[in-house]
Structure 1
């Protein structure tokens, strides 16, 4: 059974997103036989939200050479209304995802990861896996 992604509020991660957007962070390196945990946060204007829980809109995409994978890690996860909070005209929240558990691609190489919600996209995260 896959470990569930986490949607618990992480104030430090949320503070990283002052304007509408998605923030993604993770290790610069990883091992094929170990979890590869990515963390992030978002500030999603309510006009783009399709209801709460807004985490269901999160998409994680990975590319390694000609191989790629995409997942919606919260599509079938139990979420609660307080996993995201209202901040003025925005929804804010944070997340933690094991990339290998949710996308697979457990192989060595140079990976590029990006998270998106509606029209908002994180910066690209480069991870070298050995």
Structure 2
């Protein structure tokens, strides 16, 4: 009987740890993979406690001028997706495990090896 309880307990622990997957770390600069001849679009995602701030940045390729939109708060939902309230509804972002790219809002973002200066 003790063996049955022991194995039941181990099975329950394994099941609980399998269900509690840790969300990926979304912070960094993510460059939009959609090529635009005039603008370079990136998302700068910064950690803020347990949540994040997302700043959309647009860089004019001709002048080098960078425009930053106001930071928008985001949080990780139960699904592990980074969720942003876009006014009309929630927008989910996720990191594709195969490519490492950030996918969301109809776009694909690749982690940049650089970051915009603050």
TM-score between both structures, scaled by the size of structure 1: 0.28
TM-score between both structures, scaled by the size of structure 2: 0.29
Q: Which has the higher relative contact order, 1 or 2, with Cα contacts under 8 A spaced 6 or more apart?
A: 1
Larger Rg: 2
